[in-house]
């Protein structure tokens, strides 16, 4: 159904996120008939910028980044409802007249005072903008009108800064008004994890330490750091990917069943399991982690230079572009089960997956194939690019003798569903408009994520260059990441 009338307000309307994702997602929603009947987009601009110029620039962005062929009448309908208002986040006084301007606009557009403020701005601007919106009363919910705030990761750079940011936002807006985006939750394959686990009767009985040997989460990227040197060098693979994206996967795979499918229950269970990740002592954190940095190599036929030669990266940088961790979760379901997480840039293949390795069959009744040579039982949740689910198991090779080999049963989305190509933001934006927070991070979940990676951040900082290992661009990552599993008698799942 269509959301209630609303004003969709964009800070950072001239920026990359707006052009590349927000407007193309709004376009797709419009094409699917999922924008409100009374709707307007308000672009917040610094100095009076002509609406026509902004509209043209957004139209160019749409033509460039649209995921579907652009229909002129739909595009004109979306961009036709654009209005510019002036405010400058670095000049608080410029917010003073905003309240009046909104009231006037809302009466004209019939949007009933419902406002969604989308902060498509650098994270340092989240708190200052929110503070100004709060000061002039634009976030106050009254007379049945809702006021919402949308922000996207990074939420802090460590536990202390994440807490400080949450504290500042929560001083002004209530938790139910804040929509913290982790774009992994916009992916169908990620949303499907809960359906796989809880809409089927056969997985949950074996989804625990009695049957699961260990779990591997892999987010390998082919992309090198490229033009993001200044952001990335201050951030690194761990901060950039683990407490957010990898932990979204981890928490969905390991959480207890929520009593109902609503934002409170689901987010409480997710935060609960992240809070149960065992805190590692500094020496354990070093022993249970690998940090790597790429040097020159080839990804496919494309040559990639040393990470340290990337523009805006320090020539003696010790920032990791690859991280692998071993974690454990201290609760009844998972005690003793290792979780291996890895993510890196400039690798040979793009692969995002969760591989659940089940315990081996206990007894070698098939003499010709010793039990340790049976192929491994994996349930693989393919997030990208192999979107689907694969089950690996053993089968008798046809013939007069008993010989056993591993085979795969595969479900692929593309074989079953014909979804129109999307940006991955449609569901998230639609959910903000209908007021459903399930797919957004709550403050406690964000903090639990940082809490779990903080020992690694601290131990790595202290170790400096010690322990930083190299790997070649275009490879599978550092050999030390294989050793991390080999030590426990395991290996990363090979692509078949």
How far apart (Å, rounded) are the C-alpha atoms in residues 252 and 331? 15
Phi then psi dihedrals of residue 292, to 5 deg:
-125, 160
Residue 367, annotated as binding a ligand: no
Residue 2, annotated as binding a ligand: no
Q: Which of 211, 214, 227, 245 is catalytic?
A: 245
What's the angle, vertex CA 446, arms to CA 444 and CA 450, rounded to 5?
A: 110
- Catalytic residue status for 245: yes
Residue 462, annotated as binding a ligand: no
Q: What are the structure tokens assigned to 134, written together?
A: 């709060």
Smallest gap from residue 221 Cβ to ligand BG6 (A): 6
Q: How far is CA 212 from the centre of its chain?
A: 25
Smallest gap from residue 219 Cβ to ligand BG6 (A): 6
Beta carbon nearer to ligand BG6, 31 or 240? 240
Beta carbon nearer to ligand BG6, 282 or 348? 348
Smallest gap from residue 180 Cβ to ligand BG6 (A): 13
Nearest to 14 by CA among 42, 41, 45, 40: 45
Beta carbon nearer to ligand BG6, 133 or 150? 150
Residue 314, annotated as binding a ligand: no
**From residue 42, how far is each of 84, 126, 234, 411 by CA, in Å?**
6, 18, 33, 42
* Cis peptide, bond prior to residue 7, ω within 30 of zero: no
Beta carbon nearer to ligand BG6, 111 or 319? 319
Which position's Cβ is nearest ligand BG6? Answer: 240
Smallest gap from residue 332 Cβ to ligand BG6 (A): 32
Helix axes 247-254, 443-463, angle to 10 degrees: 120
Smallest gap from residue 468 Cβ to ligand BG6 (A): 19
Query: Burial level of 355, CB count in 10 A (0-12/13-18/19+)?
Result: buried
Residue 71, annotated as binding a ligand: no
How far apart (Å, rounded) are the C-alpha atoms in residues 189 and 390? 13
Give me the residues that bind ligand BG6 (CB under 6 A), please. 221, 223, 240, 352
Residue 418, annotated as binding a ligand: no
Nearest to 225 by CA among 490, 473, 433, 15: 473
Beta carbon nearer to ligand BG6, 376 or 422? 422
Q: What are the structure tokens assigned to 300, written together?
A: 């496919």
Catalytic residues: 245
Known binding residues for substrate are 183, 187, 221, 240, 345, 350
Known binding residues for NADP(+) are 46, 153
Known binding residues are 46, 153, 183, 187, 221, 240, 345, 350
């Amino acid at each position: 159904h269509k959301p209630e009338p609303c004003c969709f307000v964009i800070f950072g309307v001239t920026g990359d996120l707006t052009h590349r994702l927000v407007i193309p997602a709004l376009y797709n929603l419009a094409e699917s008939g999922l924008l409100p009947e009374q709707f307007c987009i308000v672009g917040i601009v610094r100095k009076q910028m002509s609406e026509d110029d902004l509209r043209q620039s957004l139209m160019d962005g749409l033509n460039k980044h649209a995921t579907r062929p652009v229909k002129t009448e739909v595009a004109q309908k979306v961009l036709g409802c654009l209005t510019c208002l002036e405010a400058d986040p670095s000049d608080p006084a410029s917010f003073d007249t905003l309240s009046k301007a909104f009231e006037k606009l809302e009466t004209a557009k019939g949007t009933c005072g419902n406002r969604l403020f989308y902060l498509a701005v650098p994270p340092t601007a989240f708190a200052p903008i929110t503070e100004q919106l709060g000061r002039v009363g634009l976030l106050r919910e009254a007379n049945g009108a809702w006021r919402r705030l949308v922000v996207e990761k990074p939420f802090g750079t460590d536990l202390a800064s994440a807490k400080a940011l949450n504290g500042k936002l929560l001083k002004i807006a209530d938790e139910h008004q804040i929509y913290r985006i982790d774009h992994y939750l916009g992916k169908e394959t990620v949303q499907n994890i809960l359906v796989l686990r809880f809409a089927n009767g056969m997985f949950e009985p074996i989804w625990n330490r009695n049957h699961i040997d260990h779990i591997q989460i892999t987010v390998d990227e082919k992309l090198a750091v490229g033009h993001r040197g200044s952001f990335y060098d201050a951030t690194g693979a761990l901060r950039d990917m683990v407490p957010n994206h990898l932990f979204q996967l981890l928490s969905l795979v390991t959480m207890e069943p929520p009593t109902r499918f609503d934002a409170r229950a689901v987010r409480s269970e997710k935060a609960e399991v992240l809070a149960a990740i065992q805190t590692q002592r500094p020496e354990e954190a070093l022993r249970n982690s690998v940090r790597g940095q790429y040097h020159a190599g080839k990804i496919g036929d494309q040559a990639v230079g040393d990470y340290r030669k990337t523009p805006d990266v320090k020539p003696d940088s010790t920032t990791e572009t690859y991280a692998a961790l071993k974690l454990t979760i201290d609760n009844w379901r998972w005690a003793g089960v290792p979780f291996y997480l890895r993510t890196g840039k400039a690798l040979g293949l793009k692969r995002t997956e969760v591989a659940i390795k089940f315990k081996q069959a206990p007894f070698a009744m098939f003499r010709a194939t010793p039990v340790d040579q049976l192929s491994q039982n994996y349930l693989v949740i393919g997030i990208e690019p192999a979107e689907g689910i694969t089950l690996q198991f053993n089968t008798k090779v046809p013939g007069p003798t008993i010989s056993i080999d591993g085979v795969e049963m595969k479900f692929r989305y593309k074989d079953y569903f014909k979804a129109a190509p999307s940006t991955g933001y449609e569901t998230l934006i639609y959910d903000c408009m209908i007021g459903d927070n399930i797919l957004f991070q709550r403050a406690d979940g964000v903090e639990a994520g940082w809490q779990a990676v903080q020992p690694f951040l601290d131990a790595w900082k202290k170790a400096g260059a010690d322990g930083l290992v190299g790997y070649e661009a275009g490879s599978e990552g550092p050999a030390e990441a294989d050793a991390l599993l080999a030590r426990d008698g395991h290996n990363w799942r090979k692509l078949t």
